[in-house]
Amino acid sequence: MEMNTVVAALTALAQENRLAVFRALVAAGAEGLPAGAVAAKLNLPAATLSFHLKELKVAGLIGCRRDGRSLIYSANYGAMTDLLDFLTENCCAGNPAACALPAAEPAAARKTG
Protein backbone atom coordinates (compact mmCIF):
# COMPACT_ATOMS: atom_id res chain seq x y z
CA MET A 1 0.00 0.00 0.00
CA GLU A 2 1.38 3.40 -0.97
CA MET A 3 2.19 5.86 1.81
CA ASN A 4 -0.13 8.51 0.28
CA THR A 5 -3.01 6.04 0.42
CA VAL A 6 -2.24 5.16 4.03
CA VAL A 7 -2.07 8.82 5.03
CA ALA A 8 -5.36 9.57 3.25
CA ALA A 9 -7.12 6.66 4.96
CA LEU A 10 -5.80 7.49 8.41
CA THR A 11 -6.60 11.17 7.95
CA ALA A 12 -10.17 10.32 6.95
CA LEU A 13 -10.63 7.99 9.92
CA ALA A 14 -9.13 10.48 12.37
CA GLN A 15 -12.35 12.51 12.41
CA GLU A 16 -14.96 11.26 14.89
CA ASN A 17 -18.01 11.45 12.61
CA ARG A 18 -16.19 9.84 9.68
CA LEU A 19 -15.00 7.02 11.91
CA ALA A 20 -18.60 6.51 13.08
CA VAL A 21 -19.84 6.48 9.46
CA PHE A 22 -17.15 3.99 8.45
CA ARG A 23 -17.93 1.74 11.43
CA ALA A 24 -21.64 1.80 10.57
CA LEU A 25 -20.90 0.82 6.97
CA VAL A 26 -18.53 -1.96 8.03
CA ALA A 27 -21.22 -3.30 10.38
CA ALA A 28 -23.82 -3.11 7.59
CA GLY A 29 -21.90 -5.61 5.50
CA ALA A 30 -21.42 -5.82 1.75
CA GLU A 31 -24.99 -4.68 0.96
CA GLY A 32 -24.26 -1.29 2.54
CA LEU A 33 -26.71 1.36 3.64
CA PRO A 34 -28.60 4.17 1.95
CA ALA A 35 -27.27 7.61 2.86
CA GLY A 36 -30.54 8.43 4.64
CA ALA A 37 -30.22 5.38 6.88
CA VAL A 38 -26.66 6.35 7.82
CA ALA A 39 -27.81 9.89 8.61
CA ALA A 40 -30.66 8.62 10.79
CA LYS A 41 -28.51 6.04 12.55
CA LEU A 42 -25.83 8.60 13.44
CA ASN A 43 -28.15 11.60 13.82
CA LEU A 44 -26.18 13.63 11.27
CA PRO A 45 -27.63 16.35 9.04
CA ALA A 46 -27.63 15.41 5.34
CA ALA A 47 -25.09 18.10 4.38
CA THR A 48 -22.69 17.01 7.13
CA LEU A 49 -23.04 13.35 6.19
CA SER A 50 -22.49 14.14 2.52
CA PHE A 51 -19.20 15.87 3.36
CA HIS A 52 -17.99 12.93 5.45
CA LEU A 53 -19.05 10.35 2.85
CA LYS A 54 -17.12 12.30 0.20
CA GLU A 55 -13.98 12.31 2.34
CA LEU A 56 -14.22 8.56 3.01
CA LYS A 57 -14.83 7.91 -0.69
CA VAL A 58 -11.83 10.03 -1.76
CA ALA A 59 -9.71 8.09 0.75
CA GLY A 60 -10.87 4.87 -0.93
CA LEU A 61 -12.45 3.49 2.23
CA ILE A 62 -16.02 3.33 0.92
CA GLY A 63 -17.84 2.88 -2.35
CA CYS A 64 -21.19 4.03 -3.62
CA ARG A 65 -23.76 2.63 -6.01
CA ARG A 66 -27.12 3.88 -7.17
CA ASP A 67 -30.23 1.82 -6.47
CA GLY A 68 -33.16 3.61 -8.07
CA ARG A 69 -33.20 7.05 -6.46
CA SER A 70 -31.05 6.02 -3.50
CA LEU A 71 -27.30 6.12 -3.11
CA ILE A 72 -26.09 3.04 -1.28
CA TYR A 73 -22.74 3.33 0.50
CA SER A 74 -20.65 0.37 1.58
CA ALA A 75 -17.26 -0.20 3.15
CA ASN A 76 -14.37 -1.05 0.85
CA TYR A 77 -13.20 -4.16 2.69
CA GLY A 78 -10.17 -4.55 0.41
CA ALA A 79 -8.92 -1.08 1.33
CA MET A 80 -9.63 -1.74 5.00
CA THR A 81 -7.68 -5.01 4.89
CA ASP A 82 -4.80 -3.34 3.04
CA LEU A 83 -4.64 -0.61 5.70
CA LEU A 84 -4.68 -3.15 8.53
CA ASP A 85 -2.01 -5.21 6.77
CA PHE A 86 0.17 -2.12 6.33
CA LEU A 87 -0.16 -1.16 9.98
CA THR A 88 0.51 -4.71 11.15
CA GLU A 89 3.53 -5.17 8.87
CA ASN A 90 5.02 -1.93 10.15
CA CYS A 91 4.30 -2.58 13.79
CA CYS A 92 7.29 -3.07 16.09
CA ALA A 93 9.87 -2.83 13.31
CA GLY A 94 8.04 -5.38 11.19
CA ASN A 95 7.63 -7.93 13.96
CA PRO A 96 4.03 -7.79 15.27
CA ALA A 97 4.80 -10.64 17.68
CA ALA A 98 7.21 -8.32 19.48
CA CYS A 99 4.26 -6.05 20.29
CA ALA A 100 2.37 -8.97 21.84
CA LEU A 101 -0.56 -8.21 19.53
CA PRO A 102 -3.24 -10.84 19.03
CA ALA A 103 -3.53 -11.90 15.40
CA ALA A 104 -6.30 -9.79 13.80
CA GLU A 105 -8.79 -10.70 16.49
CA PRO A 106 -11.76 -8.36 16.94
CA ALA A 107 -11.91 -6.56 20.26
CA ALA A 108 -15.18 -8.29 21.15
CA ALA A 109 -13.50 -11.69 20.79
CA ARG A 110 -10.61 -10.64 23.06
CA LYS A 111 -12.88 -9.71 25.97
CA THR A 112 -12.96 -12.19 28.76
CA GLY A 113 -16.33 -13.12 30.15
The DSSP line for the chain is: --HHHHHHHHHHHTSHHHHHHHHHHHHH-TT-EEHHHHHHHHT--HHHHHHHHHHHHHTTSEEEEEETTEEEEEE-HHHHHHHHHHHHHTGGGG-GGGGT--SS--HHHH---
- Looking at the chain, the whole-number percentage of residues with pLDDT higher than 90 is 71
Give the model's pLDDT for residue 89. 80
Assess contact for 49 and 38: CB atoms under 8 A: yes
Give the model's pLDDT for residue 91. 73
For the chain, list the domains and their CATH numbers.
3-92 (1.10.10.10)
Give the model's pLDDT for residue 55. 97
Give the model's pLDDT for residue 113. 45
Residues of the chain with pLDDT under 70: 94, 96-97, 100-113
